[in-house]
A and B are shown apart, each in its own frame.
Chain A
Amino acid sequence: RKEVEQDPGPFNVPEGATVAFNCTYSNSASQSFFWYRQDCRKEPKLLMSVYSSGNEDGRFTAQLNRASQYISLLIRDSKLSDSATYLCVVNREQAGTALIFGKGTTLSVSS
């Protein structure tokens, strides 16, 4: 099993659609989880941290299922500006700072 695995997509959706991305991770001892967004030829930017209880930031909802080692990101009411690659990120060691980045899921929102 890969350390962090994502469906590469692309996901092509119309504006206003709801879209969900999934991610699985292999290290059951992982403690820190994040979603990053990366635009074409740009650096990754933190979208949101993922907490055990699940968390929401505007149109974005992240959820964590530790038992299944599964993270999800839900985007509601998609905007054209949401078009990007979304990276699932997990910490490498239980208390360390190094992170493992998934290869990303590409989202394309069209009008």
Chain B
Amino acid sequence: DGGITQSPKYLFRKEGQNVTLSCEQNLNHDAMYWYRQDPGQGLRLIYYSQIVNDFQKGDIAEGYSVSREKKESFPLTVTSAQKNPTAFYLCASSRFRDGNQPQHFGDGTRLSIL
């Protein structure tokens, strides 16, 4: 089945530790995105990539890093510089063309501080 796979489903981070969240898609979508959702809040864009080997900062990129070495993969690293990392992290992908292109989401990773 085509879709977006995020792993792990739950992740715990120790103080000062970097952690990497995986996102893989087999939809042949060009564009991929990372969002963060805090309880009772909307989705906030962290980073996005519209093509391999290129990515742009979103609204809250500080303390995060990404790479896009393959079309299928867009991992997110939560660095120790992100002081409040506890949140629900959602990866999405979409086709890259003009017009209505909705995003499709993975089922998310919940990150907590130990």
Q: Which residues of A contact B (CB under 8 A)?
A: 31-34, 41-46, 49, 51, 87, 89, 92, 95-104
Contact = CB atoms under 8 A, between A and B. Distances in A.
B107 interface: yes
B58 A98 contact: yes
A62 to B, nearest CB: 12
Nearest to B90: A43
A49 B42 contact: no
Interface residues of B, number: 25
Given A42-B107, A43-B106, A98 B45 contact: yes
Interface of B: 31, 33, 35, 41-43, 45, 48, 50, 58, 88, 90, 94, 96, 98-108
Nearest 7 A-B pairs (CB), nearest first? A103-B42, A43-B105, A101-B43, A97-B31, A32-B100, A46-B102, A49-B100
Contacts of B103: 46, 97, 99
Interface hub of B43, B99, B108 (most chain A Cβ within 10 A): B43
Nearest to A100: B45
Contacts of A49: 100, 102
Contacts of B33: 98
Nearest to B97: A97
A97 B48 contact: yes
Nearest to A88: B42
Contact of A44 (B41, B90, B99): B90
Contacts of A31: 98-100
A102 B42 contact: yes
A31 B98 CA distance: 9
Contacts of B99: 31-32
B102 A44 contact: no
A103 B41 contact: yes
Given A97-B50, A101-B42, A43 B107 contact: yes
Contacts of B106: 43
B42 A98 contact: no
Given A42-B108, A43-B108, A98-B58, 5 more contacts: A34-B100, A49-B102, A97-B50, A97-B94, A97-B96
